Amino acid sequence: MVGKGRVFSVPDSEAPLRFVLFSTPSSTPRPGIVDGETIRPLEGIESLDALVALDPAARTAATARLGDPVGLAGTCLHAPLHPRKNVFCVGRNYLAHAEEGARVRGEELKLPSVPTLFTKAPTAIADPDATLHLSGAVSQAYDWEAELAVVIGTRCKDVPEASALEVVFGYTCLNDVTARDVQRATTQWFKGKTLDDTCPLGPWIVSADEIGDPQQLDVSLRVNGVTKQHASTAVMIFSVARCIAELSKGMTLEPGDIIATGTPEGVGFARTPPEFLKDGDVMEVEISKIGVLRNPVAISAAAATH
């Protein structure tokens, strides 16, 4: 619940428009808009997934039907979206991150000509401020990755890079928590990237028009208050527009699809010595103009060996 232990900043009148999925002790999750110290429920809309799926005119009309304000304090915020499809992810999209990975692997860095893509299953999505329950029997090398996530707002295919940002509904924070030992066990990253509770998302979606240029945002991650990652989206190898254009080539993107756009340098496995998450750690992803996504970690004991 928002309040004790929460780090959500309360927007003022000049703050960007924030779409949330929230609940109270007496209500099930429902969509709303943050308005100062309150949330205004979106009447007649079941979820933010349903809102994003509307055409622009219907979406505008829906956002005008606001219910009575609910105090932000005392509410529980949930992952804003629960897509039917996997979350699309871009790998090694910050040069310094690509360099640190190549150094650890003892390889020469060879940058791809197109984005490297993988996915995370919808079952990996976790709520903001929710404890991430991770199994020590499955992995002993859970790592962090702060990422800007793009929410698609228009059904599209073969989108030109020059107009790619026009299909974006908004942006949010994502933490691509990764089991490095599981990831490296095969040539495919999928399993190590898609364990339960490894895709916290939120705390809200900020509309695309409020963000403006997505290549002018600061992305950072803290573990127990210590900054581990910090970079600008300006240094992405492939811009948000390029990622959308490449992903949509020959493939339809739908409203509510999520694209995680890569992580900056500073991940745990590339540190000297390597650092991995421990039981009780608290991660905070912070992106300028969006906010803070906070998640404690609970890692169960590893299975006993005989």
Give the torsion sign (CA, 19, 2, 197, 218): positive
pLDDT at 4: 34
Q: What are phi and psi of 268, to 5 degrees?
A: -65, -40
pLDDT by residue for the chain (306 residues), tens digit each?
443 333 343 334 456 789 999 999 999 999 999 999 999 999 999 999 999 999 999 999 999 999 999 999 999 999 999 999 999 999 989 887 778 766 777 777 788 899 999 999 999 999 999 999 999 999 999 999 999 999 999 999 999 999 999 999 999 999 999 999 999 999 899 999 999 999 999 999 999 999 999 999 999 999 999 999 999 999 999 999 999 999 999 999 999 999 999 999 999 999 999 999 999 999 999 999 999 999 999 999 876 554
Q: What are phi and psi of 28, to 5 degrees?
A: -80, 165
Gap between the Cα atoms of 144 and 268, Å rounded: 7
- Asked if 31 and 40 touch (Cβ cutoff 8 Å), the reply is no
Among residues 144, 169, 141, 139, the alpha carbon closest in space to that of 54 is found at: 169
Burial class (CB in 10 A: 0-12, 13-18, 19+), 44: exposed
Gap between the Cα atoms of 130 and 123, Å rounded: 14
pLDDT at 170: 98
Burial 160-186 (b: 16+ CB within 10 A, else e): ebeebbebbbbbbbbbbbbbbbbbeee
What percent helix, strand, coil does the chain show, rounded to 5?
A: 20, 35, 45
Q: How many Å is the Cα radius of gyration of the chain?
A: 19
State how beta strands 146-152 and 258-260 pair.
antiparallel
- Asked if 17 and 47 touch (Cβ cutoff 8 Å), the reply is no
- Asked if 150 and 239 touch (Cβ cutoff 8 Å), the reply is no
- Asked if 148 and 239 touch (Cβ cutoff 8 Å), the reply is no
Gap between the Cα atoms of 267 and 248, Å rounded: 28
* Residue 260 CB neighbour total at 10 angstroms: 28
- Asked if 171 and 139 touch (Cβ cutoff 8 Å), the reply is no
Among residues 120, 100, 286, the alpha carbon closest in space to that of 196 is found at: 120
Among residues 35, 32, 10, the alpha carbon closest in space to that of 22 is found at: 32
Gap between the Cα atoms of 54 and 57, Å rounded: 8
Gap between the Cα atoms of 190 and 106, Å rounded: 22
Angle at 254 between CA 165 and CA 86, to 5 degrees: 105
